Amino acid sequence: MRIQIINGHAVDAANGLDRRADIFVADGRIVGVGKAPDGFAAEATIDAAGCVVCPGLVDLAARLREPGFEYKATLESEMAAAACGGVTSLACPPDTDPPLDEPGLVEMLKYRARQPGFAHVYPVGALTLGLAGARLTEMAELAEAGCMAFGQAGTVIVDTQVLLRAMQYAATFGFPVWLQAKDPWLGKDGVAHDGEVASRLGLTGIPVIAETVALGTLINLARQTGARLHVTRVSSAAAVDMIAAARAEGLAISCDVAVHHLHLCDRDIGYFNPHARLDPPLRSERDRDALRAGLANGTVDALCSDHTPVDDDGKQAPFAEAESGATALELLLPLTLKWAAEAKVPLAKALARITADPARILGIEAGTLGVGRPADICVFDPVAPVLMTRDRLKSQGKNTPFLGLELTGEVRYTLISGHLAWSAPL
């Protein structure tokens, strides 16, 4: 199928694009930017007047809930959410049931996701069997099955000897290790940032040192093993500083932040709002501001949705008993635009944090509008208001702290490998 996207404002920092440019697509790839290749005859035309045309979004953490949690979400529901949110590539954490710890599960997931209009799915394999933190998985086999990196999702390897061995083993094959910095003891049973709000509400706290103590261990082990460490869901100002220092020392460490943590802080728990129950916890305003600054200056490499669909029963519980997580695939773009507007970050740079930068971390050919690249493209109206309602959300998870709020930035069209995966109703 040959498609031309005309009259749009193309934005792609990787190719220095920030101007009016038409995009031409054929056989699932971009074949021209700015001008059509010789003899190009479009079969379909997308009029992107007033819209931004950018690479399809690359999300470093989106839970599809398959296998095992189909009552919370299915591949079909979450792929619809991804397309509607302009997300064309996503990495899924291994915390499924069973966890992604054997090649058959990974192959099945990849196979099920290989459908026209579905985003490219990149599984993150479990670093240890059953995510139990005791025995290593067959990482090489899992990589052959399609795993791009290895991690523990929200769980922790308590035994540091196992952690050392896991990182050494991953480094043997050059596999990236994606880990969240989380001490298993400090903040045990905690449900909210250990600070004024948790103290007032009588919620068990998770202190910042629970992140920094664990991060210190991870950085030391990365230095020791030479493993490629990607720190997931950084949450505090102190952690951002530690990563900057490790980088300055020359260590190849990358990190990401979840989109909620750019906009919310512990005060947003309000009167025990279970939608603000997240992992890592929403921290102080000062921490939130440091994450915003870190993302702007590049200390934080990428912004992800940390999409976690939870059913209503999981959220209709007292704060400490509620399940953590928020649905976010469809909020990633509007919340990125909100950050860019508030922090005065140029659009091209802001979009790079959800396109080219995560693609680099994932090591995939995506996130740019270069000629010859896969035609994964997002066309959005940057000023259209979007009211976040349960009905609007395609995701089966309707749990978001932004429910009922009006954001800006509506995805009009999403192309995945040149296939029209989403077009907004006019």
Partner 1 sequence: MNPQLNKNGELQHLLTIEGLPREIILSILDIAAPFTEVAEREVKKVPLLRGKSVFNLFFENSTRTRTTFEIAAKRLSADVINLNINTSSTAKGETLIDTVDNLAAMQADMFIVRHAASGAPYLIAQHLRATGADHIHVVNAGDGRHAHPTQGLLDMYTIRHYKKDFTGLTVAIVGDVLHSRVARSQIHALTTLGVPEVRVIAPKTLLPTEVERMGVRVFNDMREGLRGVDVVMMLRLQNERMNGALLASPQEYFKYYGLTPDKLEQAKPDAIVMHPGPMNRGVEIDSAVADGGQAVILPQVTFGIAVRMAVMSMLAGN
Binding residues for partner 1 (CB under 8 A): 194-196, 198-205, 207, 271-272, 274, 313, 316-321
Q: Judged by CB, which is closer to partner 1: 213, or 320?
A: 320
| Cα(278)–Cα(234) distance, integer angstroms | 13
List the end-to-end C-alpha distance of the chain, in Å, as a whole number.
Answer: 23
Cβ proximity of 23 and 5 under 8 Å = yes
CB of 182 to partner 1, least distance (A): 18
Expressed in percent and rounded to 5, the helix, strand and coil fractions of the chain are 35, 25, 45
Q: CB-wise, 76 or 311, nearer to partner 1?
A: 311
Residue 73 neighbours by CB distance under 10 Å:
23
**In the bound complex, what is the minimum distance in angstroms from residue 191's beta carbon to partner 1?**
9
Closest alpha carbon to 56 in 118, 143, 4: 118
Neighbours of 41 (CB within 10 A): 8
- Scanning the structure block, which residue is given the tokens 């699932």? 28
User: Please, are residues 199 and 205 in contact by the beta-carbon 8 Å criterion?
Assistant: yes
C-alpha separations of 234 from 223, 282, 301 in Å: 19, 11, 11
Phi, psi dihedral angles at 383 (to 5 degrees): -115, -5
* Burial class of residue 414 in the structure, from the number of CB atoms within 10 Å of its CB (0-12 exposed, 13-18 middle, 19+ buried): buried
Per the residue annotation, which of 22, 59, 194, 306 is the catalytic one? 306
- Compare residues 94 and 314 and give the one whose CB is closer to partner 1: 314
Q: Classify 2 as helix, strand or coil.
A: coil
Write the single-letter amino acid at 234. Answer: V
- We find the least distance from the C-beta atom of residue 326 to partner 1, in angstroms, to be 18
Does residue 279 carry a catalytic annotation? no
Provide the minimum distance between the beta carbon of 418 and partner 1 in the complex, in angstroms, as a whole number: 45
Q: Find all residues with CB under 8 Å of 165, minimum gap 6, and list them.
A: 136
* Cα–Cα distance for residue pair 69/66, rounded to 1 Å: 6
Considering the complex, state which of residue 93 and residue 195 has its C-beta at the smaller distance from partner 1.
195
Closest alpha carbon to 62 in 99, 106, 95: 95
CB of 239 to partner 1, least distance (A): 18
User: Phi and psi (nearest 5°) for 392?
Assistant: -70, -35
Q: Which amino acid is at 339?
A: W
18, HSE (Cβ side, Cα atoms, 13 Å): 10
- Three-state DSSP at 167 gives helix
Q: Up-side HSE of residue 187: CA atoms within 13 Å toward CB?
A: 24
Q: Which residues are catalytic?
A: 306
